[in-house]
């Protein structure tokens, strides 16, 4: 008799899955946004350079060359 009264398996809705994924990615996304905001503020506001240069390869190549230059 107990076999006929088993509960059916619950379906997890698409919204619940999406919310779980967003909840799991919340901290990494906030860290990424903070990194981008910090780079932009430091380069454009404190450095006095144009903001669009933060996202080009030129400044990063120059910084890499300064850090890893052979003396």
Tens of pLDDT, residue by residue over 38-61, are 988 998 999 899 989 988 999 889
Helix (H) or strand (E) holding 63: helix 57-67
State the Cα–Cα distance between residues 26 and 10, nearest whole angstrom.
26
32-67 core/surface letters (b: 16 or more CB in 10 A; e: else): eeeeeeeeeeebeeeeeeeeeebeeeeeeeeeeeee
* Per-residue pLDDT tens over the stretch 7-32: 776 776 788 888 999 999 999 999 99
Radius of gyration from C-alpha coordinates of the chain: 25
Question: Does pTM surpass 0.85?
Answer: no
In the chain, domain spans = 13-67
């Amino acid at each position: 008799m107990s076999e006929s009264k088993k509960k059916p398996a619950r379906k997890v809705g698409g919204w619940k899955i999406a919310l779980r994924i967003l909840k799991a990615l919340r901290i990494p996304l906030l860290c990424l946004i903070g990194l981008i905001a910090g780079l932009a503020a430091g380069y454009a506001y404190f450095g006095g350079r144009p903001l669009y240069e933060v996202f080009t390869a030129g400044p990063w190549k120059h910084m890499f060359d300064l850090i890893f230059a052979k003396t």
